Amino acid sequence: MPPEVDAEAHPLVATPSILAGKRNRLPGPAGERRPTGAFPPRSLETMLAMAEAVFSTSERPLPADRLEYLRRELPDLLNRAAPRGRLMFRLGTFAISTIAPLLIGRLPPLRRLPLDVRIRALRKMEASPFVAALIAVRAVLCLVYYEHPDAAAEIGVRVGPNGRLG
């Protein structure tokens, strides 16, 4: 269960209404999302496949609700980047999708590989000269993922009843 927090006042983890998939009440009216060059679904799928690998452990796969949360939140963030920023991320995800499998002798794309093979491929890429793309995409994944209250709690972030961190 997510920690109990004051949904109106909490600035560090997603509120229950956001976790429930409701529209963010904060100033994100439909009117703010940029219309052109929205982050492509295939790039998003690569990011989610990467997220499954980055945040899974040998004890548990990535919980489905957190994956769903990423599926909603990532496009909302990336669609607000300027075209060049979006292009950089598309290139980054393309590099990960193609290079990581090739590094372990498998055919791309990454998202079609089983989880354990994906993990192996990404570990290989992290030790390769192509690490910059992986770091950039992983940073954005982490930024959103660890705002999920369960994910935050799992790494020891203690949220107090007033919303402050312990």
Under the binding rule (CB under 8 A), the answer on residue 76 touching other proteins is yes
Give the number of residues in contact with other proteins, rule: CB under 8 A: 62
Of the pair 9, 16, the CB lying nearest other proteins is at 9
Quote the least distance from Cβ 16 to other proteins, whole Å. Answer: 13
Stretch that binds other proteins, among 40-48, 54-62, 63-71, 103-111 (CB under 8 A): 54-62
Under the binding rule (CB under 8 A), the answer on residue 91 touching other proteins is no
- DSSP assignment of the chain, as one string? -PPP--TTT--SS--HHHHTTPPP-SS--GGGS--TTPPPHHHHHHHHHHHHHHH--SS-PPPHHHHHHHHHHHHHHHTTS-HHHHHHHHHHHHHHHHHHHHHTT-PSPGGGS-HHHHHHHHHHHHTSTTHHHHHHHHHHHHHHHTTSHHHHHHTT--B-TTS-B-
Stretch that binds other proteins, among 21-29, 41-49, 64-72, 103-111 (CB under 8 A): 21-29
Under the binding rule (CB under 8 A), the answer on residue 39 touching other proteins is no
Stretch that binds other proteins, among 41-49, 55-63, 64-72, 102-110 (CB under 8 A): 55-63
User: Is 131 in contact with 137 (CB distance < 8 Å)?
Assistant: no
Q: Single out the residue of 2, 56, 67, 117 in contact with other proteins (rule: CB under 8 A).
A: 56
Under the binding rule (CB under 8 A), the answer on residue 163 touching other proteins is yes
Under the binding rule (CB under 8 A), the answer on residue 20 touching other proteins is no
Between helix 41-55 and helix 64-78 the angle, nearest 10°, is 140
What are the two backbone dihedrals, phi and then psi, of residue 55, each rounded to the nearest 5 degrees? -100, 0
Q: Which residues bind other proteins (CB under 8 A)?
A: 8-14, 24, 26-28, 30-36, 53-58, 73, 76-78, 80-85, 88-89, 119, 122-123, 126-127, 131-132, 135, 138-140, 142-147, 152, 154-157, 163-166
